[in-house]
Amino acid sequence: MRLLLATANKDKIREIGEIVKGLPLKLISAYELNAVPHVVEDQPTLEGNAIKKAMQFAQASGLLSLADDTGLFVEALGGNPGVHTARYAGETCSYADNRQKMLAELDGVTNRKAFFRTVVALALPDQVLGTAEGYVHGKITETERGSDGFGYDPIFQPDGYKKTFAEMNAEEKHKLSHRGLAIKNILPLLKSYIGGKKNDQ
């Protein structure tokens, strides 16, 4: 069974591949398509963006597609950056730009509470099969720590842990991360679809 990962983010492609390792799937990255659709993430919710990406990639490829959208919600920033997490410091910003902006805005702030939320969508060219989500609560650290992971990982420390995501190895992170949990929660639907296709053969 071929599954298209509906993203051009190489870090997400690698991470999702690690999470679904062992399933009877042949993962196809966006870079293997003849033409990668440019999806404008203009929806007001994570669900809306995930569904839009999954549908447009499925329609462009004819393949079963999995897309995600992730938001970091910081209490002291009124829930921002939320749906704008990836572009927090501007349309062409880097991961480092986003982290530096957040640390600057939280400079001297004692309330560092935050949570990540990921929504994943599974779609065929003619329908959305379903969505699932995953959360992880934690805090924004005062400085960057660790060199693994990507995005906000060096400044996010999940509740109950002394390490940031960037200080964890991949196995540690996937067990509790927002994206790991969201994909785990979509797996029953994915497995059901794979099973149904096998029965049709």
Exposed e or buried b per residue across 48-87, where buried means at least 16 C-beta atoms within 10 angstroms of its C-beta:
bbbbbbbbbbbebbebbbbbbbbbbbbeebeebbbbebbe
Which residues are known to be catalytic? Answer: 69
